[in-house]
Amino acid sequence: MSLIHSSYFRPRVYPQNGDVDPSEIDRVQDISGSITLNREKIKEVGTDGTIGWLTKVPNLKLTMKQLENGSMEFWRKLANKADSITEITLNDFKSSMVDICGYKTDDDGTFVSTIWYPKLRVNGFSFTIGDTQGALERSFDLVGEDEITLQGTNKYFIFRKMTAVGGGNEVIVISDDGTTYPNPVADPDNSGQYLFKVLRIRAGVTTELTYTTDYTFNGTTSATIISSSAGDIYKFYWSAGSYITDAIPFTTNLVDAAAIAPDHVDVMISTSTKVYKLQSVACDISFDRADYYEIGNGTVIQRGVKNKTVSIKLGRILDVFTIEEIMRGVAANTGVINSREFGDKIILKVRIYTSKLKTTLLQQYTFRDLSPTVMDLGATLDEYVTRGVTLEGENCSISSIAI
């Protein structure tokens, strides 16, 4: 078997909640995962050596770096929101989940396997303009419990969304003997089970159905949904030895920008005051997550976010003191600016446009109720003086409209 190049590792995201379709993940520069299996060595008095291992729930971390392309698509997928949504806030990530798959093909063009990360939650993200000539970047920190490799006759991860037309115990044909959708292949880890999971969306609420209690699988092509209602939306997930006919997991996006340069950006503080002489912008958002388990169950049963932290650092060449004047709430050229008097309701906006003409907005990051926490000054021999400010808060939104 040939090696697998990153050009043939094709990432795709599957939103968990709501009537939201999957998509490929564009402009990824780096994706990496690490799983801690949480296995504890057990010993006892009177025995030399280990007598066994206590197996706990694993911890998975997945990190991903993207070039910013001004598209809201991936933000909406992560937040489990419809394409019509124009603004995403931090609260939208509290209960949202996604599955991410990497479809792997070797250098000879042979499809090898899929790596599957189910039920990932956003643990944090960042937006960075590292310098005045570099591309805009965004990075994501995702957490979960599982990393699953699908190979052999189970090598393709398959998804299908369908709508119930009847009621009661409704039989839904999810595959058609390979005419379009391949038949599910048995899960070798769970005897008799063919579907990884079935989700029901009813009146906007997403519920994961339980095998045998809420649904059964009939032979090779259909499932019986118990107590179905007309209009229910069902999401089916399974594995197979082939993919969907006339479909591919990843289509290169040639519509959105390949990358975005810093001269396509305006940074504004307060309501509309542009900040000049900026050399870098770094925005980091982190969540203090609360995931809870229960006795008798090896999965997370409740998820939430206890706290949110937004940290922004602006680096600039020292010229005028516009930022300091706005943080102090005084007019331009005020004689004395005492940092002890800085306010704590500062608004920062980063607007991204289609071109350096800045006539058509693509995306806006908005941070409200910020408080300055650190001011720094750098004066190096034969260099221009630099100035940095760090602001912190708990509020961030990403939008496709000016707000």
Please check the confidence at residue 379 and state whether its pLDDT lies above 70.
Answer: no
Q: How many Cα neighbours within 13 Å face the side chain of 237?
A: 23
Q: For residue 299, which amino acid is it?
A: T
pLDDT tens digits along 152-181? 999 999 999 999 998 889 999 999 877 899
Q: Which two tokens stand for residue 376?
A: 């720094």
Mean pLDDT calculated for residue range 255-260: 94
pLDDT tens digits along 217-226? 998 899 999 9
Q: Which two tokens stand for residue 25?
A: 């993940």
The rounded percent of the chain whose pLDDT value lies above 90 is 70
Cα angle: 41, vertex 121, 38; to 5 degrees: 0
Domains of the chain (ranges, CATH numbers): 7-35+54-240 (no CATH), 262-399 (2.30.110)
* Other residues' Cβ atoms within 10 Å of the Cβ of residue 373: 15
pLDDT of 316 reads: 75
Please check the confidence at residue 4 and state whether its pLDDT lies above 80.
Answer: no
Q: For residues 329 and 205, which has the higher predicted lDDT (pLDDT)?
A: 205
Do the Cβ atoms of 372 and 313 come closer than 8 Å?
A: no
* Phi (first) and psi of residue 341, to 5 degrees: -100, 10
pLDDT tens digits along 103-149? 999 988 899 999 999 999 999 999 999 988 999 999 999 999 999 99
Name the pLDDT band for 275 (thresholds 50, 70, 90).
Answer: confident
3-state secondary structure the chain: CCCCCHHHEEEEEEECCCCCCCEECCCEEEEEEEEECCEEEECCCCCCCCCEEEECCCEEEEEEEEECCCCCHHHHHHHCCCCCCCEEEHHHHCCCCEEEEEEEECCCCCEEEEEEEEEEEEEEEEEEECCCCCCCEEEEEEEECCCEEEEHHHCEEEEEEEECCCCEEEEEECCCCCCCCCCCCCCCCCCCCCEEEEEEEECCEEEECCECCCEEEECCCEEEEEEECCCCEEEEEEEECCCCCCCCCCCCCCCCCCCCCHHHEEEEECCCEECCCEEEEEEEEEEEEEEEEECCEEEEEEEEEEEEEEEEEEEEECCCCHHHHHHHCCCCCCCCCCHHHCCCCEEEEEEEECCCCCCCEEEEEEEEEEEEEEEEEECCCCCCCEEEEEEEECCCEEECCCC
Please check the confidence at residue 302 and state whether its pLDDT lies above 80.
Answer: no
Q: How many residues are listed for the chain in this entry?
A: 403
pLDDT of 335 reads: 60
pLDDT of 383 reads: 54
Average pLDDT taken over every residue of the chain: 89
Distances (CA, A) of 24 to 4, 11, 115, 141, 279: 19, 6, 14, 18, 33
pLDDT of 388 reads: 76
Q: Which two tokens stand for residue 231?
A: 């209009």
